[in-house]
Structure 1
Amino acid sequence: MHLHLVWLKKDIRLSDHAPLHMAVEAARAQGGRVALLYCLEPKLIKQPDSAPQHFEFARECLEALASQLPEHVPLFLAKANALVAFQTLALSGVDQLSLYSHEETGNWASFQRDREIKAWCKNKQVKWHEFANNAVVRRLKNRDEWGKLWLETMRKPVLPVPVFDDLPQAMQFDFPQALHTQLQENGLPCVPLNHSPWPTWGKVDHFYPKHFTDKAHRQHGGRPQAEACLKAFLNERGMNYRFEMSSPLSAESACSRISPYLAFGVVSIREILDMLGQAREQLTQSNLPAKSQTQWRQSLKSFESRLHWHCHFIQKMESEPELEHRSAHRGLNGMRNFGELTAQEQSRAEAWIEGRTGFPMVDACMRMLRATGWVNFRMRAMLVAFASYQLWLDWRHTAPMLAREFLDYEPGIHYPQFQMQSGVTGINTLRIYNPVKQAKDHDPDGVFIRRWIPELKNIPNEWIGEPWNTPLLLQQECGCTIGEDYPWPVVNPDTAIAQARANITEFRQRKGFVEESKRVYEKHGSRNPNRNGTLKRKRSNVKQKDGAVEAEAPDNAQQSLF
């Protein structure tokens, strides 16, 4: 039997799925059977960036996808590392195996896994057909032409869901059940999801410690949920997106919230752009007032630019997988402590991730994130910057901690963004967020803070962003004594920033800093001077300031705004 196996990773969909299309066409032309496989990989699940919410979201997406497949095209769920699954398949009555998948820009563990599978396929003469994921280019020679490649990719038509009806049917035996039995006999826990319910061995508590739990208030997975979410944004919620994305109060409904579905590949960038084009056409034909149409056009344009930035950041990780554990600017690797955390650093890290730093805007955002798996981009940037500057924690300690909290965790965006917000790229403007100012700018009446920190509910607006300055008698009247009912700030808000700036200045003045910054820009910098949020100068005219190459990047233009 020739098995055309589509290996699903973070591309849990049927439409705009090039590997699936090729597998179906190959089976139609060459004969054989088509099956899909998703592996619950213990090696990846045990990584420090993995969390139950990711597991459960993927489960919901897979169950929704399985319901769309005919009986003779099974979606197998296996409890095994991918290499073990393929090795077992090769021993289970499969005479010839052809493998089809998207390229994945994941974490370091998935990168190493793919290298092992590549070697195994070569040794066993298994053809592995890999396809680019969105507009991320593997083995990109340089960034100069990447913008052009992005446009070429996105202008290609969306691939429809393949036609399965005329594929070879199982004649003499039940293909899904027969293969399932053979895999089980060879020691691989495996079940066809479009024939069976989710197995007990695939429950989340089989993979995570009991104190790791799912988020009760997160978004739910599945193609229908993704389509409904995007439709609501493009037709109802998104008119004020451009102006309401920064405040955690308005962003919760004004942002598209499509990012988890992108992270798990439930929809592709090209599909979203297609729906975006349809929304523009409907807007042109609508009877909305001119002012409303203008607002919609501005918001849709702003949203579209984020789709480009999505691929731009993942391309960084694709070109340099080491960005998960090494600063882009190698001269900044030792700026903070990456060894074992001191007792003080451990205490600060725990206060930060648990939302009890004593800075209300930081704590409210973290508590929202821990409850829902989402918070808007500006507040994400503030959380990262606060940990990196005020708390002076190395990003390699805090990045995995926050990855577990983001439902839409995308390694290719997460690590380059973490580095940018932590000031270790050498080419981006430093952004040290003042949590008190952020509270005044984006939550002046304390509505958001009080929602997530009820112990501060009676503190007057004047002090809600800096409750430690509330007069003691007033604290007592409000029933919230700082240091008892709500913590004192874990650091002095003024001296912490001053010390961070001094530390950074010292490193930026070191010999070789500018030369290394230029290398980083040549490898990762955006080349389009006209796009919002990219470098505002030509490559030949990169300016220097305080011993650093300065490059502007948007503080609100990444995937997490979707």
Structure 2
Amino acid sequence: MRVTDHLPLFEAAKGVKQFGRVLPLYIHENLMIQSPYSARQHQAFVWECLDSLNADLQGMGGVLGEVHGDAVEQLDRLHAVYGISRILAHQESSTRAEYTRDKAVRAWCKAAGVALVELPQDNVLRKPAKAKLSFQDYLNAAVDTPLKNPLGKPLHHLFVEQVPTLNRATLPLSVGTDKPQRVKGGRLAAVALAKRFFTINRLKQYPYGISSPNKAVDACSRLSAYLAHGVVSDRHVLVRLNELVSEASQTLPAAEFEKLQSGAQFFVERLIWRHGYFQQFEDHLELEDTEFFDALKGVREAEFNPAHFDAWVAGKTGVPYVDAIQRCLDQTGWINMRARATLASFATMQLWLPWPMVARHLAHQFTDFCPAIHFGQVRIASGSSHFGQLLIYDPLKQARDHDPKGVFVRKWVPELAGLSAEIIHTPWLVPGALPADYPAPVVQPEEALRTSKARIYALRLQTESLSQPGLHIG
């Protein structure tokens, strides 16, 4: 949902004489509106992005077309009106339902005699493909190749004059409600966040602020939702990062520049991980919902406790740090990475909830939900991935390490606002400290953690499948 660094748009514009004028199109698919991973906040964010995209296109002389319905049906209808010669789009690594939709579109294109051109992005290769670029080579290419940016240029001659329109008020709504404190969609919102983050001081402090739920709101770039929805490309982010480092190399003393470089490298490493998740999901769609370990199949489901799930969703587990994370997420649509892992780990390990159920709920919660990253991270936190080492987060340790004074807990769990830092994370251990309007823990956290770790280790050892492909990112 952008025009800058959009190779399909650029190629469409280049081919106007051969293939005809360009129709920028967004299909409001029921597949996406009713997806088990979509919520009202995602739909609202997308609409904001579409408004921003349409404004950018109008500034170039075009208009965004919007239709509602099944992709194949809508393409067939538009083909009768416009005579589509070819469709250009980015390749996507997405859910099984969207993959099935893509196959149906390919079949329609073949039957209708329409060329379908899907161009790669994010250094993700689709099989069969040539050898994958190393991230360093991808980075070099990203910063050496000028970004194609048609914003504000008079390009009205490239676009069709009449486009399909709709009244979004007539569209069905996704489940749930919008989040009052989420980031707003659109290019201008992304530009404002990038301008705030890509400064010398913020980048130097980046590695030291991302683990704390109190600091991460300002320390992180907060660009994840815009990357997930295609408002900005990762290449655009890399170019801006490189520009900042290049500028600083001319002005900063050596010691200060070294700190900046360290922060920049730390940020780039997160983008490398992101690429790894994408390539893994492209190659292994079964990551979405398949249990790899035979001994784990159906175990959590058979012991599912609906009261535990409801308490976790409501932020009323009786474990203050976990509840604070869930309540923050419910209002903002975002929490930092360590908090995400803590929330998923507590749900799947200490509450022993099925990881697909946890993944679906968190998909609704995250404004920046991105399937390729999301399922891999929840699986790792649950011990159900082929990641060699279990990465299980103890919420009590996380609370003491990253919210030692209880600032985050007091903000999001006001029932505990009067408690001291010494007892706020474990009020049930102090007689008379637990307020009447806050529950006792639904499980004893430390005991439940010991039990679940022992069970996971034992169950994984029963399954001789560690040789299957897994998410091992260096």
What is the TM-score of this pair, normalised by structure 1?
0.79
Counterpart pick for 1:308 among 260, 272, 282: 272
Shift of 1:315: 1.0
Task: Give deviations 1:224-261, integer Å, cap 9, x for gaps.
Answer: 11112112111153321101110101111011101011
Query: Do the aligned residues in 2 keep the contact of 1:338 with 1:397 (CA within 8 Å)?
Result: no
Aligned to 2:294: 331
Cα distance in 2 between the residues matched to 1:102 and 1:241: 31
Residue of 498, 510, 520 corresponding to 2:469 = 520
SS in 2 for 1:517: coil
Q: Matched residues in 2 for 1:256 and 1:332: separation? A: 40
Q: Note the 1:252-331 alignment, pairs <5 A.
A: 252-287=217-252, 291-327=255-291, 329-331=292-294
CA distance in 2, matches of 1:346, 1:161: 51
By how many angstroms is 1:131 displaced? 0.5
Shift of 1:144: 8.0
The question of whether the paired residues in 2 share the 8 Å contact of 1:463 and 1:470 is answered with: yes
In the alignment, the residues of structure 1 paired with residue 399 and residue 40 of structure 2 have an alpha-carbon distance, to the nearest angstrom, of 31
Q: What is the CA distance between 1:169 and its match in structure 2?
A: 6.8
Separation in 1, partners of 2:130, 2:6 = 27
Range moving further from structure 2, 151-160 or 446-455: 151-160
Map Cα deviations across residues 147-170 of structure 1 (whole Å, 9 max, x no partner): 577457635614312486456478
In structure 2, how many angstroms separate the alpha carbons of the residues matched to 1:517 and 1:143? Answer: 26
Which residue does the alignment assign to 1:555?
none
Q: Number of paired residues?
A: 471
Q: How far off its partner does 1:423 sit?
A: 1.1
Match of 1:496 among 428, 438, 448: 448
Equivalent position to 1:24, from 9, 13, 16 = 13
> Where does residue 94 of structure 2 map in the other structure?
106
Q: Which runs of 5+ in 2 are unaligned?
A: none
Q: Which position in structure 1 is the counterpart of 2:198?
A: 234
- Rounded to whole Å, the distance in 2 between the matches of 1:276 and 1:169 is 32
How much does 1:35 deviate? 1.1
Seq. identity, %:
34
Gap runs ≥5 in structure 1: 1-11, 181-189, 192-197, 527-533, 535-562
- Structure 2: how far apart are the matches of 1:376 and 1:121? 42
Distance 1:152 1:238 in 2: 20
Tell me which of 174, 177, 181 is aligned to 1:208: 174
CA distance change for structure 1 residues 145 and 17 in 2, over 3 Å: closer, same or farther?
closer
SS in 2 for 1:282: helix
In the alignment, structure 1 residue 464 sits paired with structure 2 residue 433: no
| Residue number in structure 2 paired with 1:125 | 113
User: Taking structure 1 as reference, are residues 166 and 255 closer, same or farther at Cα in structure 2, changes over 3 Å only?
Assistant: closer
C-alpha contact (below 8 Å) 1:399/1:418 kept by paired residues: yes
Q: Residue 404 of structure 1: which of 358, 364, 371 is its match?
A: 364
**How much has 1:457 moved relative to structure 2?**
0.6
- Cα separation, 1, equivalents of 2:133 and 2:4: 28
Does the 8 Å CA contact 1:36/1:76 hold for their aligned counterparts? yes
- 1:76 paired with 2:65, answer yes
* Cα separation, 1, equivalents of 2:375 and 2:295: 15
Q: Which structure: larger Rg?
A: 1
Distance 1:68 1:404, change over 3 A: same
Change in CA separation of 1:501 and 1:96 when aligned onto 2, cut-off 3 Å? closer
Q: Is the 8 A contact 2:209 2:216 kept in 1?
A: yes
Per-residue deviation, 1:16: 0.8
| 1:539 aligned residue | none
- Tell whether the 8 Å contact from 1:135 to 1:149 is kept in structure 2 after alignment: no
What residue is the counterpart of 1:560 in the other structure?
A: none
Measured after TM superposition, the shift of residue 62 of structure 1 is: 1.2
